Structure 1
Amino acid sequence: MEKGFRSCAKKGPKLEFPVTGVRVVVNDGASHAVDSSDLAFQTAARAAFREAYLKARPVIHEPIMKVVVETPTEFQGAVMGLLNQRRGMIVGAQDEGTMSVIESQVPLAEMFGFSTVLRSATQGKAQFTMEFSAYRLVPASIAEKIAEEVAQRKRNAA
C-alpha cells in the first residue's frame, strides 16, 4: 500500500504537482490469498488517496525568494515599483550613501526576466541577489489560472 500512496504523492491527481504535508493512516484492511497481490494493494491505495485528496480541498504553494536589490538612490522608487508589479512585498529599504538597498520577498514565478527589466529601469546601474526564502500559498486567482492551464495541457495531450 505504501508504494501506491507514495506514487500518488509524487504526482498529485488533480494538477500533477507533488503533494506534501500529508499523513496516511490505514485503520483497517484485509487480505485474501487469491486476490491480494502487491499490485492490488497499490491500486487500492491510489484510489483511496484520490478520494481523500479531493475531499481535503488541497491548495498550491509557491516558492518565495528573498530578493535584495542594490541601486542608485535616484532609482529607488522605480525599483520598488518593479518589485511590486511582480507581486513582491518590500521588507525594507536603506540608503547607504548614493546607493539604496531594497530587500523584498517575491514569488519565483514572477522573477523571470527581472534582470533585463531592472537594467532598463536603472540604466544598467542596479544589481540584485536572489535566494530561496519560503513557500507561500498561491492567491486564489492565480491558482485558478494554473488549474486551467494544466487542464488545457491535459486536453491537448489527449
Structure 2
Amino acid sequence: EGLRKAKSRLMEPLMQVDITTPEEYMGDILGDINGRRGMVGDLGERGNIKTISAQVPLANMFQYVSTLRSMSKGRANYSMKLANYDFVPPNVEEELKKG
C-alpha cells in the first residue's frame, strides 16, 4: 500500500544487444527485436555482414540464442551486456500487477 501511495514505478534492466548477420536475415531479426520491445539504435555493416545494435529488456531475451539461430540458419551471432535500467511501460506494468 505504501508503494502505491508513493506512486512508485517498476524498473527493468535493459540489455545492449549487438548482432552480426548476413543481409538476407536483417528483416526477420529486426522484426523479432521490435517484437521483444527492443529499440534499435544503429544499423551498420562490416564487409558483407550487417550489424544491429539495440537495447532490449532482459525479460524478453530468454531463449534468444535459439530464436536467432533458427531465423538465420545458424549464421548470425550476438553479444549482450547490461546497458541500464529504465521504467517499465505503463501497459506492461499493469499486466504485471494483474499477475
* Aligned residue number for residue 5 of structure 2: 55
Unpaired stretches in structure 2, ≥5 consecutive residues: none
Superposition deviation, residue 100 in structure 1: 0.6
Alignment-derived partner of residue 137 in structure 1: 87
Greater relative contact order, per chain length (Cα 8 Å cut-off, separation 6+):
2
Which shows bigger deviation, 122-131 or 70-79?
A: 70-79
Q: Which residue of 2 aligns with 1:115?
A: 65
Structure 1 unaligned segments of length 5 or more: list them.
1-13, 15-49, 150-158
SS in 1 for 2:53: strand
Q: 1:69 aligns with which of 15, 19, 23?
A: 19
Letter aligned with residue 136 of structure 1 = D
> Aligned to 1:76, what secondary structure does the other structure show?
helix
> Aligned letter for 1:125?
R
Task: Tell me, in whole angstroms, the C-alpha distance in 1 between the residues paired with 2:11 and 2:33.
Answer: 20
> What is the alpha-carbon distance in structure 2 between the residues aligned to residue 111 and residue 84 of structure 1?
12
The structure 1 residue matched to 2:36, chosen from 77, 82, 86, is: 86
| Aligned Cα root-mean-square deviation (Å) | 1.1
Moved more, 101-110 or 71-80: 71-80
Bigger Cα Rg: 1
Runs of 4+ in 1 over 4 A off after TM superposition: none
Q: Is the 8 A contact 1:73 1:95 kept in 2?
A: no
**Aligned residue type for 2:83:** S
